[in-house]
Structure 1
Amino acid sequence: MSGDVRGSRVAVVNWRDPGHPAAGGAERYAWELARRFAARGARVTYVTCRAPGQARRERVEGVDFVRLGGRFTVYPLVLAWTLAHRRRFDAVLDCQNGIPFFTPWVLPRRTPVLCAIFHVHDEQFGLYFPAWLAWIGRTLEGPVARRTYRRHACTAISPTTVEALRTRLDWTGPVYLVPVGVDVPEGGREERRAPDPSAPRLVCVTRLVPHKRADLLLDLVERCLPERPGLRLRIIGRGPEQERLAAEIEARGLGGAVELLGFVPEDEKAAVVADADLHLSASRGEGWGLVVAEAAALGVPTIAYDVDGLRDAVRDGATGWLAADTGDAAELVHTLDRALEELADPARRDAVADACRAWAAEFGWERTADRMAALVAASVRRGTSGTDRTSRTGGADAQVVRRYRDGHLRVVEGPVRDELLDAGEAEPVRPATPFERLLGRVEGDAGR
C-alpha cells in the first residue's frame, strides 16, 4: 500500500518550531517531517507558539507557519484555532512535549490524529514546576491524554518510550514506532586519532536544563583532572542553566578545562564534535538521543548513563558505553577510563568508529519521513489512525509479515499492516522484536 501524502492536508501541531530560541530535538523532529511532507506534495501547516521577534504567519520550504501565544497560552489558542479550521485537514500530527494539544476534542471524528510522543515527562514536571502544577502536568499527560486519544494512536521514537507509555502512563491504545532521523555526512571514512590518555578531548551537546544534569560532567572533570591534567570538555548548547553553570565552573576553578560554547551553527557544531575523542551525556532520561546519533554519524562514540532512550541510542560496547546511573559521577568516571583504554588500541578504535557510522546510517531523515508518511497516508484512507489488531502489552503493535507478491518479509504497524492484511496482500509471520521495530526492518535484512 502506498505511503504517498501528495495532496493531503496535514497539520503539525507542536509547542515550538525550530526557530524558537529554546528549540530542541522534538522541534527538529517535527520540522524535518513537516518539510519533507511538503516536499512530497502535502499541504502542511505547522501550528506552534510565537517567540519574541518571530512572525505570526510565515511560509518556509513549502510549510505554512501559524504562531499563536506563548509558553502556556499556546495550548488554548491552538485549540481555538483548530476548532475554527476543523474541516481544513485530512490528518493531524499532534506533538506531545509533556502535554499534548488535545486536538481530538475539536476535530471531526473521522479526522485521524497521531499523537507524536518524544518522551514521557512524568518524572520531570517536579524539576520545573511547583508541586500543584507538576500534578496538573502529570494528570494531563497521563489520564486525560490517555482518554482523549483512545480512538486514535500515538507514535513513539524508541522502544523505551513505548515501554514508558505502557508502564508509566498506562497507555492502552496503539503505539507505533517512528524513530528520530539523523543527517549522515557524505564522504569517505576518516581515520580516528588515538586519544591522549592525559589530555582526552570530550564534548557534550545538550540543552542546559536541570534534567540534563550538566553538573555531573563538572564533577567528572574535577575527579579526572589530577590523573588527566590535559583533559578538556567543551559543552555546546544553551538554556536557563547557562549562567549558573558558568558561575559554577569559575567557582570550582575549572575554567581551563571546561568551555561553555553556547549556541553554535550546525557546521561549527559538527566540527567540534568530530574533533572530540568522546561525546558525553549525563541526562537522567531521553526519548532517544538525537545528539548521540549525530555524534555517531561523525564516528564519535558516546558515554551516557543507562537510562531511558539513551540505552536505545547507544549500543553498549559497540557505539559507546553505558554507565550505571547512581546519581553521581563515579560510574561515569570509571566508564570514561574504560573507554579511553579501549580506544588506545587502533583496531578497536576503528571498529567503534565504523560501528558508529553504520548505526547512524540506519536513521536517515528520509527513512523517518517514509515511515510516518506511510502511517499518515493509511490513516487518511481508513479514516482512523487506530487499529483493530492491537494488544494491551504492545506485543502485536508491530508484526513481521510476508508479502505474497515477492515473499519479502516486512515490519509493519497499525493501519499500514491492517491494509496489507485486509487486502490479502500479506500474511502475518510473528510479532516484531523491539529492535526490528526501531529499525523498521527484519533483523539480518541489512539491505532494506
Structure 2
Amino acid sequence: MRIAVVNWRDPWHPQAGGAETFAWEVARRFARAGHQVCYVTARAPGQSRRDSVDGVRFVRMGGVFTVYPLVLGWLLLYGGRFEAVLDCQNGIPFFTPWVVRRRTRVLCVVHHVHDRQFGVHLPGWLAAFGRFLEGPVSRWSYRRHASVAVSPSTVRAMRERLAWRGPVHIVPNGVGVAQDGDFAKSPVPRLVCLGRLVAHKRVHLLLDAVPELRRRWPGLVVDIVGRGPEEAALRARLPEGVTLHGYLPEEDKARLVARAWLHVSASQGEGWGLSVLEAAALGVPTVAFDVDGLRDAVRHGETGWLLPEGTELAKGLAAALDELDHTYTVKCREWAGRFSWDRSAERLTALLHGRDPGPGWEER
C-alpha cells in the first residue's frame, strides 16, 4: 500500500513525545514490510523540508498551528496517491477525510482525550475552540471511519467525553528498550522521572515531595529526564538531591532508569504512559496517580502502585519504597514483554487493509 502517516511532529522535533514514538515506530515497520510510506508533519527550525529515513519519506511544513491547514492543502493536491492514511490526533486530528478520496481508508489514532488539558495550556477562548474541534467536529468528520486508541482508558474517554461513534480498536504502544542490559542498581534510594516537561505532567509535585523523603532517606536522589517549556521553571527550584538531565541518548537514559528503584509519574492523565513500559522493561516499577492511561500501564500491586488523586506523593512514594522487593522487578519485565512495536504495526496494517485485527491487548 501507499500510506500517509500524518502526525503533528516527527521524532526529531525538539518537542517530540510518546505520540511521535508511536507514529515513527509503526511507520518504519510499514516501510520494512514493503509499503510506500510518507510521514507528513510540522517543520521545526533547522529541519529540512524533505528527508528519507529507514525507507520512510518525510514531508515537513508549518508550525504548531499552521501545520494543520498546510497538511490539508498538501493532501488535497497529493492525497490521491495514497490508499490509506494514519491520521494521528494530538488534541485535534488533521481532519483528513475532508480532503482525501472517499475510498481512501482513514484511521484516526487517538492517544488520549485532551479536553481537560486544553485549559491547562491555552487561554479560555482557545481551549473552548479546541474542545469543540476535538469533540463535535471530530466526531462528525470521522463518523464513517474506524478509529484506534492506545488503551482502554482512551476508549472509555472517547465514548463518554467525546460521544465518539463507530468502531474503536485498541493498538497499544510497544517497547523499544533492550531488556538484556547488565545494569547495576543504585546502592541508595533512587527515583527517576521520564517525559516531556509540560504543565500536565506535574513534575513539580515530585519536587515538592523530595525534601520530606530525604528526611527519612538522606541519601535519596532523583533523576529527571526530559525537556519542554517547564524546564526553566523546574530548574530554578530544584531541591537538594535532584538532577534535571534534559535530553539523554537512549542508551544513557536506559542506564539511568535501570539504576533507579522507582519510576515516578505525577501526570494528570495519559493515553498510555510509554515511559511506564520503558521503565518496566528495565525492571523498574512505577508510582503514579490512578488516572486515565496510567491505570492501564501500571498493574497495581504487581508492576507498581496507583495513588488516588489528591494523595500526597511523598507518602505514596514512601509506602512504595517500604514495600519494594525483587518480585516487582520480575513482574515488570514479564509485563513489558507482552508488548512490541511489531505486533502494534501488524494490528494497524490489518486495519488499514480493512481486516479485523483479531484479539488484542484488551482481551489478553
Query: Normalising to structure 1: TM-score of the pair?
Result: 0.79
SS at match of 1:222: helix
| Rounded Cα–Cα distance in structure 2 between residues aligned with 1:18 and 1:170 | 31
Letter paired with 1:262: G
Are the structure 2 counterparts of residues 191 and 63 from structure 1 closer, same or farther at C-alpha, using a change threshold of 3 Å? closer
Q: Following TM superposition, by how much is the alpha carbon of 1:186 offset from its aligned partner in structure 2, in angstroms?
A: 4.8
2:314 corresponds, among 330, 333, 342, to 333
Letter paired with 2:328: V
SS at match of 2:245: strand
Letter paired with 1:337: A
Match in the other structure for 1:362: 338
Q: Deviations over 1:322-362 (max 9, x none)?
A: 11111xx61x222222221222xxxxx22211110111011
Q: Report 1:68-83 matches (<5 A).
A: 68-83=61-76
| Rounded Cα–Cα distance in structure 2 between residues aligned with 1:191 and 1:142 | 45
Q: Following TM superposition, by how much is the alpha carbon of 1:437 offset from its aligned partner in structure 2, in angstroms?
A: 4.0
| Rounded Cα–Cα distance in structure 2 between residues aligned with 1:367 and 1:337 | 37
SS at match of 1:86: helix
SS at match of 1:38: helix
Letter paired with 2:146: A
Match in the other structure for 1:274: 258
Q: Following TM superposition, by how much is the alpha carbon of 1:248 offset from its aligned partner in structure 2, in angstroms?
A: 1.7
Letter paired with 1:438: W
SS at match of 2:162: coil
Larger Rg, first or second structure (1 or 2) = 1
CA contact (8 A) 1:204 1:236 kept: yes
| Rounded Cα–Cα distance in structure 2 between residues aligned with 1:278 and 1:186 | 17
Match in the other structure for 2:126: 133
Q: Report 1:44-443 matches (<5 A).
A: 44-187=37-180, 199-249=188-238, 254=239, 256-326=240-310, 330=312, 332-343=313-324, 349-377=325-353, 379=354, 415-416=355-356, 437-438=360-361, 443=364
Letter paired with 1:289: G
Q: Deviations over 1:251-273 (max 9, x none)?
A: xxx1x311100001000000000
CA contact (8 A) 2:183 2:258 kept: no
| Rounded Cα–Cα distance in structure 2 between residues aligned with 1:266 and 1:208 | 17
Q: Which runs of 5+ in 1 are unaligned?
A: 1-7, 344-348, 380-414, 421-435, 444-448
| Rounded Cα–Cα distance in structure 2 between residues aligned with 1:40 and 1:212 | 36
Query: Normalising to structure 2: TM-score of the pair?
Result: 0.97
* Aligned sequence identity (%): 58
Letter paired with 1:149: Y
Q: Which runs of 5+ in 2 are unaligned?
A: none
Q: Deviations over 1:258-313 (max 9, x none)?
A: 11000010000000000111100100000001000000000000000010000000
| Rounded Cα–Cα distance in structure 2 between residues aligned with 1:158 and 1:9 | 27
| Rounded Cα–Cα distance in structure 1 between residues aligned with 2:361 and 2:113 | 17
SS at match of 1:356: helix
Are residues 1:24 and 2:33 paired? no
CA contact (8 A) 1:192 1:353 kept: no
CA contact (8 A) 1:192 1:350 kept: no
Q: Following TM superposition, by how much is the alpha carbon of 1:110 offset from its aligned partner in structure 2, in angstroms?
A: 1.0
Are the structure 2 counterparts of residues 438 and 192 from structure 1 closer, same or farther at C-alpha, using a change threshold of 3 Å? farther
| Rounded Cα–Cα distance in structure 2 between residues aligned with 1:360 and 1:44 | 28
Q: CA RMSD in A?
A: 1.6
| Rounded Cα–Cα distance in structure 2 between residues aligned with 1:118 and 1:170 | 16
CA contact (8 A) 2:3 2:85 kept: yes
State the aligned residue count.
364
SS at match of 2:92: coil
